[in-house]
């Protein structure tokens, strides 16, 4: 069998008490879980959220779009010839896809190798239709079907046929990926924005009043994760789809998610609402570079063609190959009602064993900050666009901490408020250290721009999110501009590339002076004078003692 022989990732079973605070619970398992990259969290048995997707009106009526995945090409494929024309997304007709036989097991051919490899848009389905499609595919693929007249549920009920085990499906999956003999095409309803489709969790409505649905307010309801105190993402105002607004995944047998890390090396939390298992493979964050090297070594032609291949999420590599090259890989089988947590920079991949539905969102407990900083520095080197403004979140967390220090200092804590941000500060706190590192970086970059005229950013500066014209580094803290092109900005590292004008025509824009940033560090370390100064100057607070 081609089934990879790898160890299991850990499973955590929080008590009801431990399950009360998601962010605190994640922090409590972090040290153990990060050695594996992924882990499974099984909620207490009493936690059984209802799933609104199962309501008849939704199940039978609401359509979603799928993408077509060619499973046999995920690892073994010829590099595509370069196209000069942009690729047109073909939209297939559902009817054709519902026919089986040779449709999903055609002999391999390289006829379409002129297109860039990716997942083309597939048919639209309702959940009811997709379940039927997925079940029929699996029955036919594994030769499970006894008689055309009997539906899969009837067959299962009467146990008239053999059903492949998770291990058998896994063996077959890797056989297709590693040594394909046929074409196997499946559809995946992936990355469905829950803001437009629907979330699998109940949402609170304004009419709920005091009679609050416990699952609507639960901190494990992925719609609420973005608002949890202690998560840096809670400071993001924009509805970034997939990062702060969850995405839904409607899977069928062999539908895959290929090796990738989360944007900005964020944590992710994935919950399975219903259906057949999802098999996960995870690599600890500390081994990310090793995985990338191994992928490059094993798939040199694909990387030559597309150096940023891993950002495309279209490539698998057998966990056995990774393991043989010293990359530790762990496995987890997620079932309905269970969470899978992925840790910062932990590569993960996997596939579904049959019809199922999962939902996922990113999480950012404060210990994510150094990983996020590392991510934006790598993005800068790779000239890759960012999805969030790391500096904006970092500065917001720091300001929130100063506000809490101030409240603590003047004993004016309001209600139930917890000092979540203040508690991550002090001389050697995670938040203090994250700010210190960033301020140090800024002061080094400033040395190269010491001769420039400088100016404070005004309100107009914030009218758009600004990024360096060449490396796309986010320009929340500082930026360089030139009189020759006032709408063009560079980061402090790319002043010379901005234009060929003399230095005296260039201006450096700053949100805070170095002195202000150093006072911020002192405030986070707990210095009361610095707390008062920052509170008054930047947070509009008025110290009672004047």
In the bound state with ligand LMR, the residue whose beta carbon lies nearer, of 348 and 438, is 348
The correct pick among 119, 141, 249, 303 for binding ligand LMR (CB under 6 A) is 249
Of 295 and 491, which has the nearer Cβ to ligand LMR? 295
Task: Please report whether residue 266 would count as binding ligand LMR according to CB under 6 A.
Answer: no
CB of 188 to ligand LMR, least distance (A): 7
Q: Is 19 a binder of ligand LMR (CB under 6 A)?
A: no
Span 277-316, contacts to ligand LMR by CB under 6 A = 278
Residue nearest to ligand LMR (CB): 257
Least distance to ligand LMR, CB of residue 283, Å: 13
Window 169 to 208, contacts with ligand LMR (CB under 6 A)? 190
Q: Reduce the DSSP state of residue 323 to 3 states and report it.
A: helix
Shortest reach from residue 412's CB to ligand LMR, in Å: 42
Token representation of residue 83: 């196209």
Sign of the torsion formed by the C-alpha atoms of 308, 311, 317 and 323: positive
HEC secondary structure over 105-139: CCECCCCCCCCCCCCEEEEEECHHHHHHHHHHHHH
CA nearest neighbour of 237 among 462, 535, 513, 517: 462
Q: Which of 94, 146, 145, 95 is nearest to 121 (CA)?
A: 94
- The DSSP H or E segment spanning 317 is none
Q: Quick check: 498 binds ligand LMR (CB under 6 A)?
A: no
- Residue 268 is a binding residue for ligand LMR (CB under 6 A): yes
Nearer to ligand LMR, 348 or 476 (CB): 348
Q: Which is nearer to ligand LMR, 288 or 360 (CB)?
A: 360
Per rule CB under 6 A, is residue 257 in the interface with ligand LMR?
Answer: yes
Task: Give min distance, CB of 314 to ligand LMR, in A.
Answer: 13
Residue 273 CB, nearest approach to ligand LMR (Å): 11
- Residue 276: how many CA atoms within 13 Å on its side-chain side? 21
| Residue 51 vs residues 15, 57, 434, 475: alpha-carbon distances, Å | 23, 13, 39, 41
State which residue, 174 or 473, has the beta carbon closest to ligand LMR: 174
CB 14 within 8 A of CB 44: yes
Least separation in angstroms between residue 190's CB and ligand LMR is: 6
64-70 vs 185-193, strand pairing mode? antiparallel
Least separation, in Å, of the C-beta of 506 and ligand LMR? 43
For ligand LMR, the closer of residues 224 and 478 by Cβ is: 224
Q: Does 68 bind ligand LMR (CB under 6 A)?
A: no
User: Would you count residue 330 as binding ligand LMR (CB under 6 A)?
Assistant: no
Alpha carbon separation from 294 to 223, 285, 299, 328, 347 (Å, rounded): 36, 15, 8, 12, 13
Contacts with ligand LMR by CB under 6 A: the residue count is 9
C-alpha span between 4 and 318 (Å, rounded) = 8
Residue 141 binds ligand LMR (CB under 6 A): no
The site map against ligand LMR for 343-382 (x = CB under 6 A) is -----x---------x-x----------------------
Query: CA-to-CA distance for 376 and 434, rounded, in angstroms?
Result: 13
Question: Which one, of 30, 8, 6, 47, lies nearest residue 344 by Cα?
Answer: 30
Is the CB of residue 391 less than 8 Å from the CB of residue 438?
yes
Q: Answer for the pair 287, 393: CB distance below 8 angstroms, yes or no.
A: no
CB of 36 to ligand LMR, least distance (A): 15
Cα 268 to chain centroid distance, Å, stands at 5
Binding site for ligand LMR (CB under 6 A): 190, 249, 257, 268, 270, 278, 348, 358, 360
């Amino acid at each position: 069998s081609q089934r990879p022989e790898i160890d299991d990732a850990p499973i955590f079973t929080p008590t009801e008490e431990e399950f009360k605070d998601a962010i605190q619970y994640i922090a409590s398992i972090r040290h153990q879980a990060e050695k594996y990259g992924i882990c499974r969290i099984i909620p207490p048995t009493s936690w059984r959220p209802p799933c609104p997707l199962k309501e008849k009106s939704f199940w039978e009526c609401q359509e979603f779009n799928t993408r077509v995945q060619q499973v046999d090409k995920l690892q073994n494929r010829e590099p595509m010839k370069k196209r000069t024309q942009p690729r047109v997304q073909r939209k297939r007709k559902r009817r054709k896809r519902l026919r089986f036989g040779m449709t999903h097991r055609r002999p391999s051919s390289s006829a379409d190798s002129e297109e860039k490899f990716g997942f083309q848009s597939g048919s639209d389905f309702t959940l009811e239709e997709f379940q039927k499609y997925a079940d029929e595919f699996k029955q036919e693929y594994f030769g499970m079907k006894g008689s055309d007249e009997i539906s899969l549920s009837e067959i299962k009920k009467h146990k008239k046929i053999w059903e492949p085990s998770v291990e058998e499906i896994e063996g077959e999956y890797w056989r297709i990926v590693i040594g394909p003999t046929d074409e196997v095409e499946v559809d995946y309803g992936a990355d469905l924005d829950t803001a437009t489709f629907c979330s699998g969790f109940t949402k609170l409505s304004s009419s709920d009043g005091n009679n609050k649905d416990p699952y609507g307010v639960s901190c494990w309801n992925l719609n609420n994760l973005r608002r949890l105190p202690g998560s840096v993402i809670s400071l993001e105002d924009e509805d970034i789809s997939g990062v702060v607004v969850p995405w839904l995944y409607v899977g069928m047998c062999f539908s895959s998610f290929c090796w990738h890390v989360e944007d900005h090396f964020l944590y992710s939390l994935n919950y399975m609402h219903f259906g057949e298992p999802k098999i996960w493979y995870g690599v600890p964050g500390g081994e990310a570079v090793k995985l990338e090297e191994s992928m490059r070594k094993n798939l040199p032609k694909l990387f030559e063609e597309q150096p940023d291949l891993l950002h495309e999420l279209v490539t698998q590599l057998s966990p056995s190959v990774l393991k043989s090259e010293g990359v530790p890989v762990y496995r987890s089988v997620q079932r309905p009602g269970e969470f899978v947590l992925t840790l910062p920079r932990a590569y993960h991949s996997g596939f579904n064993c049959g019809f199922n539905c999962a939902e996922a969102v990113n999480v950012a407990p404060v210990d994510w900050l150094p990983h996020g900083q590392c991510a934006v520095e790598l993005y800068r080197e790779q000239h890759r666009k960012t999805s969030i403004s790391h500096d904006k979140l970092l500065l917001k967390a720091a300001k929130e901490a100063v506000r809490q220090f101030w409240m603590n200092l003047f004993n004016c804590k309001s209600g139930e408020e917890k000092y979540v941000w203040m508690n991550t500060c002090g001389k050697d706190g995670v938040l203090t250290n994250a700010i210190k590192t960033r301020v140090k970086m800024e002061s080094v970059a400033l040395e190269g721009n010491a001769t420039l005229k400088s100016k404070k950013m005004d309100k107009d500066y914030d009218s758009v999110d600004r990024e360096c014209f060449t490396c796309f580094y986010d320009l929340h803290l500082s930026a360089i501009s030139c009189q020759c092109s006032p709408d063009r900005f560079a980061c402090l590292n790319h002043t010379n590339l901005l234009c060929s004008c003399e230095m005296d025509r260039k201006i450096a824009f700053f949100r805070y002076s170095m002195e202000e940033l150093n006072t911020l560090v002192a405030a986070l370390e707990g210095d009361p004078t610095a707390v008062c100064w920052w509170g008054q100057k930047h947070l509009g607070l008025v110290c009672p003692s004047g």
